[in-house]
Structure 1
Amino acid sequence: MAWVFLLVASMLEPAWATAIKQSDGLTKPWPSVLGLSGASISVLFLTFAMKDLPAGTAYAVFVGLGAVGVVAAGAVWLGESLTLPRLVFLSLILIGVIGLHFVDDGSSTTPSLAP
């Protein structure tokens, strides 16, 4: 279930980042509210995922998938360019994210304070 939470958190990132971009420096109320609310919900789902996944894996996947999603959203809705070099480097991010999924053993690496 942790991976599902992580995917939901990552899928929300393009929505809130695009809203923040549209907020014009948080000067437009509705995009600002949508962006900040979306970011809060996204981090909430990330928190749920981190209960069962190593923090480094969860955060790297969250940021990686979020970055790819934000670039895609920017290209579709904001008219931002998708050049070949950008696509190559985004592919490398996706390869890393997929690799992290396969090497994760599913156990949390939270250190214990008990001796």
Structure 2
Amino acid sequence: MGWLFVILGGIIEIFWVSGLKYADTLWLYCLTLLGILASFVLMILATKRLEVSVAYAVFVGIGAAGIVVAEMLVFGEEVNFVRLTLIATLLIGVVGLKLTSKSESERKMVRDISTELGLDELDEFMGEDKSERKDTGGLI
């Protein structure tokens, strides 16, 4: 379930980032705001199940690569080998950096944020079995 949240949140991020650039009506700005909220709620829920560093790296990678590809395919940006190579390098760098760092404070921060926002109740409403949750040393 955690990976589903990360992937869905990353896909939603592609849409809201494009919305920031192309929104020109109140309705589109509202949809953009809704996308921002949805992607971050999904990310917070995902980090309660997965390591923060790995989940964030995948989330950012989906967003960064997806936005570049969407700009090229949907909005007519120039398809450029150098641009594609640079975005691939960026993704490799983000994933590499995030995989090499494991922070206890990140897990505590996610727990605190999710409690403050009331996402624990949403977790329980969705029927998560706490016994399936990855052991994080009691931090999450």
Following the alignment from structure 2 to structure 1, what is the Cα–Cα distance between the partners of residues 16 and 33?
A: 7
Residue ranges of structure 1 left out of the alignment (5+ in a row):
none
Letter in 2 for 1:3: W
Counterpart residue number, 2:5: 5
Structure 1 segments of 4 or more deviating over 3 A? 92-100, 106-112
Is 1:35 equivalent to 2:32 in the alignment?
yes
Q: Output aligned runs, 1:1-115, within 5 Å.
A: 1-23=1-23, 28-95=25-92, 107=134, 109=136, 112=139
Name the amino acid aligned to 1:10.
G
The share of aligned pairs that are identical, in percent, is 36
Gaps of 5+ in 2: 101-132
Query: For 1:97 and 1:109, how far apart are their aligned partners in 2?
Result: 23
Alpha carbons of structure 1 residues 81 and 110: separation in structure 2 relative to 1, 3 Å: farther
The 3 A distance-change label for structure 1 pair 43 and 92 is: same
1:96–1:47 distance in 2 versus 1, CA, 3 Å: same
Does the Cα contact within 8 Å between 2:14 and 2:67 map onto a contact in 1?
Answer: yes
For the Cα contact (< 8 Å) 1:7–1:62, is it kept in 2?
Answer: yes
Q: Which structure would you say has the larger Rg?
A: 2
Closer/same/farther in 2, CA of residues 62 and 8 from structure 1, 3 Å limit = same
TM-score relative to the length of structure 1 = 0.75
Deviations 1:22-52, CA, capped at 9 Å, x for gaps: 125xxx3122111111111011111111001
Across the two proteins, how many residue pairs are aligned to each other? 106
Q: TM-score, normalised by structure 2?
A: 0.63
CA RMSD of aligned residues (A): 2.9
